[in-house]
């Protein structure tokens, strides 16, 4: 008698969820683990909007599913923080995920930063807060552009000044000769 192996529909659904979570977080440089204890629908919507505004992904999933996703990957050490109702904030911009999580936690006592992982290193809540205090990648880019533009505009003014003086001298000479 041949037994056919069938996967249960529940197992197929879980497999799809695991694949979807993995696809969302695999390119991230950082994941911040947050605890969200009883956020209502409006608060959850506000959280998602705040994260999206900063370019940060947010995943609320069962810890067991998240553990399956991270168990053999670069974020495997995060398992330490996966207890209770968690929400993962993830991003390619390491400061953005930390900043968005910390800022939302300041405004809502039902949301708490637990820890995170970046460059293979675990971070506790205090380290995440220090990271959140740094300027974001976009802010750093703006500063660099500003620094690059300042010398360029100074050089342009310096170069224009002698040309303007020469033009005034030539105009004065032209008036004298006329």
Q: Whole-angstrom Cα distance, residue 80 to residue 57?
A: 21
Rounded to an integer, the average pLDDT of 103-121 is 93
pTM exceeding the 0.75 threshold for the entire prediction? no
Q: What is the pLDDT of residue 1?
A: 46
Same domain, 90 and 176: no
Confidence of residue 2 (pLDDT cuts 50, 70, 90): very low
In a domain, 128, yes or no: yes
Query: For the chain, what is the domain count?
Result: 2
Same domain, 175 and 121: no
Where b means 16+ CB within 10 Å and e means fewer, 113-129 reads bbbbbbeeeebebeebb
Same domain, 101 and 26: yes
Q: What is the CATH number of the domain that holds 46?
A: 3.30.70.1730
Model confidence pLDDT, tens digit, residues 113-138: 999 999 889 999 999 999 999 887 77
Domain span at 108: 9-134
Same domain, 124 and 109: yes
Same domain, 31 and 99: yes
Same domain, 99 and 139: no
Q: Whole-angstrom Cα distance, residue 32 to residue 9?
A: 31
Q: What is the pLDDT of residue 89?
A: 94
Same domain, 106 and 119: yes
* Choice between 89 and 165, residue whose per-residue pLDDT is larger: 89
In a domain, 4, yes or no: no
């Amino acid at each position: 008698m041949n037994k056919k192996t069938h996967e249960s529909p529940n197992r197929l659904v879980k497999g799809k969820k695991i694949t979807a979570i993995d696809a969302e977080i695999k390119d991230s440089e950082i994941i911040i683990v947050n605890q969200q204890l009883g956020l209502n629908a409006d608060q959850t919507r506000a959280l998602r909007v705040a994260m999206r505004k900063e370019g940060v992904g947010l995943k609320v999933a069962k810890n067991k599913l998240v553990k399956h996703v991270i168990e053999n990957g670069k974020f495997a050490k995060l398992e330490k923080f996966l207890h209770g109702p968690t929400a993962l904030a993830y991003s390619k911009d390491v400061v953005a995920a930390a900043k968005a999580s910390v800022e939302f936690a300041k405004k809502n006592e039902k949301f708490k930063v637990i820890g995170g992982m970046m460059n293979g290193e675990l971070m506790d809540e205090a380290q995440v807060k220090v990271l959140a205090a740094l300027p974001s990648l976009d802010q750093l880019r703006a500063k660099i552009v500003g620094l690059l533009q300042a010398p360029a505009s100074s050089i342009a003014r310096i170069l224009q000044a002698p040309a303007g003086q020469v033009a005034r001298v030539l105009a004065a000479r032209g008036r004298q000769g006329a």
